[in-house]
A = this chain, B = another copy of it.
Amino acid sequence: MPNHCAELFSNYFPFWNKLTDIQKEKLCNSITFVKYNKGQNVHGSSGECTGVIFLKTGIVRAYLLSEEGKEVTLYRLYTGDVCMLSAACAIQNITFDVFIDAEEDCEAYIIKSDAFSALMSESLEVENFALRITTMRFSEVIWAMQQILFMSFDKRLAVFLIDELAKSDGDIVKMTQEQIAKYVGSAREVVSRMLKYFAFEGIVEVSRGGVKVIDKKHLKEIAF
């Protein structure tokens, strides 16, 4: 068993110490190291059960995709997060599929679904871990749902721009209106209209490269 495997699991998977040596060995033999480029699909497009993803570095976005190609962002995962929904096949009560894309270049470890599934059936602790992570995502999805269904659109867009600025530490959100629309779960035309209004109010400047926030104070007033 490679040392870095024991280190990874003992740091991030609380069930590690409850496993037998054989289980530890099996688990370590089932993980692979992968890299994803920014924008690459991590899970969903192949229709296969990718496995449990441990995100070593980077950011991924989980979303629903309609038959017509409409996307709704459910949540994002960051360095150190574990993704269970990419192993939905291993969890009995999960009957839906999400898509997951890399939003930055990512490094990750993947635990194969069948190995994880076998371990879950042997150990209540492993199942408990998987279900707890899933329940955490449930809370994030409800939050996203409340944003989409209850928040007026000016507020939603303002919150989105402020969140994006906080990540990049600058004053420009470098995204096309098409991309923004995908992330806030709306149509490009609706985003375009609202950005024009924000620009008219002197809150933002819209250019080809993205959206520059000029009056952050005003934007925050709309958001909160």
- Report A's interface with B, CB cutoff 8 A: 64, 66-68, 70, 72, 91-96, 124-125, 127-128, 131-132, 134-139, 141-143, 145-146, 148-150, 185
Q: Would you call the interface of chain A mostly helix, strand, loop, or mixed?
A: helix
Q: Which residues of B contact A91 (CB under 8 A)?
A: 135
A-B contact pairs, 9 of them (CB 8 A): A64-B145, A70-B150, A93-B135, A127-B128, A131-B131, A131-B134, A141-B141, A141-B142, A148-B149
Q: Can you tell how many copies of this chain the complex includes?
A: 2
Q: B68 touching A142 by the CB < 8 A rule?
A: no
Distance (whole angstroms) from the CB of A186 to the closest CB of chain B: 10
**Given the complex of chains A and B, what is the CA–CA distance between A131 and B131 in angstroms?**
6
Q: A93 touching B136 by the CB < 8 A rule?
A: yes
Q: A68 touching B150 by the CB < 8 A rule?
A: yes
Q: A132 touching B131 by the CB < 8 A rule?
A: yes
